[in-house]
Structure 1
């Protein structure tokens, strides 16, 4: 993801997460940490015939990675795009030398939970009222050894 992707990312963000969409400033802040020798973030966009159909981001701190976001356009859900984005995030976690990767997922998003479980993420707890303003709980999941969970997936173009 680059700065020129932010407007298109925000459109999809607001469509998919109308109650708790990230702001322009949040994406800019994340991208500020995604370049250079000391980068601690990796953000990706997925395009299909020039249309942005997904994006994802990972933050790293020491040997811990954290999936910040994964979003897939509704008409692309179920196509494997989420798995391709997650695979790229786990590659980034491996490059950052993360020993484990954490994430939060809405408790009502069973499709995402199944994807994460397929990659070896295991539930470890809850964060009550994490998603606001809807007051929806988050399921916290952890993956140890992200390099062992990489899938060889093909498809939609994914760019950093």
Structure 2
């Protein structure tokens, strides 16, 4: 069941949607994925899902399963649709998929400067567990740290929050 306030459909990411997905990422991120990177992710068997309303991609995520873990590789919401609960909705969908594939842990990395995303992830139950120094490019010769975050899904099954 889709847990969103705004009416939207959660659809699997598919090749015909990749130009729109890449456009959302380009509008939302300083260093976006290319359409080719999204295509390669799908070809590699990664899981992608999109929130779509009236034929417009509002946001998406791409994740990969590695044994009993799921790694969030990319998540973006179009700037004009941010702050409306779509990020929470996408994280809920990620969480549900991770449970379906019997993952025990969800992992992600986020720019240390991205307070809004970090707040979203913390609100969804992710905990900062480490840092990767000089991980993300900022400008030529300048890089920033990534905050490594995880969420224990086994704890959720034992009575924690979804």
- TM category (shorter chain) comes to 0.7 to 0.9
Q: Distance in 1 between matches of 2:81 and 2:89?
A: 12
Q: Distance in 2 between matches of 1:77 and 1:68?
A: 19
Q: Once the 2 structures are TM-superposed, how far is the Cα of residue 146 of structure 1 from its aligned partner?
A: 6.4
Q: Which moved more, 1:78-87 or 1:138-147?
A: 138-147
Which residue is 2:15 aligned to? 3
Change (3 A) 1:15 1:94: same
Which residue is 2:32 aligned to? 21
Using CA pairs under 8 Å that are at least 6 residues apart, name the structure with larger relative contact order, 1 or 2.
Answer: 1
Query: Which of residues 134, 139, 143 in structure 2 aligns to 1:129?
Result: 134
1:138 and 2:150 matched: no
Q: Which moved more, 1:128-137 or 1:113-122?
A: 128-137
Query: Any runs of at least 4 consecutive aligned residues in structure 1 with deviations exceeding 6 A, and if so which?
Result: none
1:32 and 2:43 matched: yes
- Cα contact 2:52–2:58 (8 A) shared by 1: yes
- Number of residue equivalences: 143
5 Å-filtered alignment, 1:58-73, equals 58-73=63-78
Q: Which moved more, 1:47-56 or 1:60-69?
A: 47-56
Q: Distance in 1 between matches of 2:155 and 2:97?
A: 9
Structure 1 residues without counterparts, runs of 5 or longer? 35-40, 151-160
